[in-house]
Amino acid sequence: MSVFEGFRFRRLSSPIHRLDPRVKFLYVLVIFGIAIAFLEVLPLILLFLIQIPFVLVASVQREWIRSLKGASFLATLIFVVNFAFAYFGGTYPSYMSPWEYPLAMSLRFLVLVESFSIFFLTTSPDHLSLALEQSHVPYEFCFAFTTAVRFVPVLAEEAQTIMDAQKARGLELERGNFIKRVRNYIPILIPLIVSAIRRSLELAEAMESRAWGATEKRTNLYVLKMKSSDYTLIAVSIGMLIFGIYVRLYIPIPSLTMLLT
């Protein structure tokens, strides 16, 4: 369950934590956009590296590394599958060797995981909800979204308990062939889903009994306000986006294969 730990908010105080969530989300989108725009390894490596200072300033490096560790399995899978297709099917750009294209694909995935991890590690669910509300998303949706985010660790913990309970009844997750292994997860998934549904019904009742939705027009005690640091990040993000688009359109980027040969 360590993957989830890498996205779970830590109540810390750092310049990154204090940034407006809307601005942070813009930054994540920009990184997302640039990562999608490039197929070459070099810019993706650069994109990966420029985010490390954010991690260090926010001092969430331990959790961040956890999220990367969790993502490494999927990244490897992406590499292997793409490599297989590139090598045997020949579906890769001609100026690259068959290993570079899959490498770029997994790097792209890591960059996305990295930026989302930074976003969720440094943004409290409350701020996220505020940001959504102030972006005129209906309150019901904001609430559903933040509740979902908030319950991820609870569910992860529950999944662990269920796993323990089934192991205590002789379930061996790692035994058998592939199909058997997938089937091994049924005794874990069913109780987990049942208890999640039960929990959501209970939550709904608890909320109704505390007069949820009684007032038509909700007001908030705290309101998000943009500060100078927020404007700086907006400028940096837009600058990065423009620079990224410019490079993409006008500057040819050498592939690693070309550099190495």
Partner 1 sequence: MIEVKGVHFTYPIGVEALKGVSLRIRDGEFVAIMGSNGAGKTTLVKHFNGLLKPAKGEVFVDGVNTRNVSIASLARKVGFVFQNPDHQLFCETAEEEIAYALKNFGFEEETVKTRVTWALNILGLTQYRQTSPFMLSGGERKRLALASVLAWDPKVVVLDEPTIGQDYEQKEKLRQFIVQLNAQGKTVIVVTHDVEFVADCGPRVMLMAEGKIVADGDAKEILTNKELAFKASIVPPQITQIFLGLADFGLPTDVINIHEAGKILFDFLKEEVKP
Q: With respect to partner 1, which residue has the nearer C-beta, 121 or 241?
A: 121
**CA pair distance 102, 41, nearest whole angstrom:** 10
Q: What DSSP string runs through 93-152?
A: -TTS-TTHHHHHHHHHHHHHHHHHHHHHHHS-HHHHHHHHHHTT--HHHHHHHHHHHHHH
Q: How far is the CB of 192 from partner 1 (least distance, A)?
A: 9
Q: How far is the CB of 188 from partner 1 (least distance, A)?
A: 8
Q: With respect to partner 1, which residue has the nearer C-beta, 28 or 188?
A: 188
N residues, the chain: 261
**CA pair distance 8, 4, nearest whole angstrom:** 6
Q: How far is the CB of 1 from partner 1 (least distance, A)?
A: 9
Q: How far is the CB of 11 from partner 1 (least distance, A)?
A: 14
Q: With respect to partner 1, which residue has the nearer C-beta, 78 or 159?
A: 159
Q: With respect to partner 1, which residue has the nearer C-beta, 160 or 232?
A: 160
Q: How far is the CB of 7 from partner 1 (least distance, A)?
A: 15
Q: With respect to partner 1, which residue has the nearer C-beta, 33 or 187?
A: 187
End-to-end CA distance of the chain: 42
Q: How far is the CB of 14 from partner 1 (least distance, A)?
A: 20
Q: With respect to partner 1, which residue has the nearer C-beta, 134 or 195?
A: 195
Which residue has 């940096």 as its token pair?
236
Q: What DSSP string runs through 143-205?
A: HHHHHHHHHHHHHHHHHHHHHHHHHTTT--TT-SSHHHHHHTTHHHHHHHHHHHHHHHHHHHH
Instruction: By CB under 8 A, name the binding residues for partner 1.
Output: 2, 158, 161-162, 164-172, 186-187, 190-191, 194-195, 198
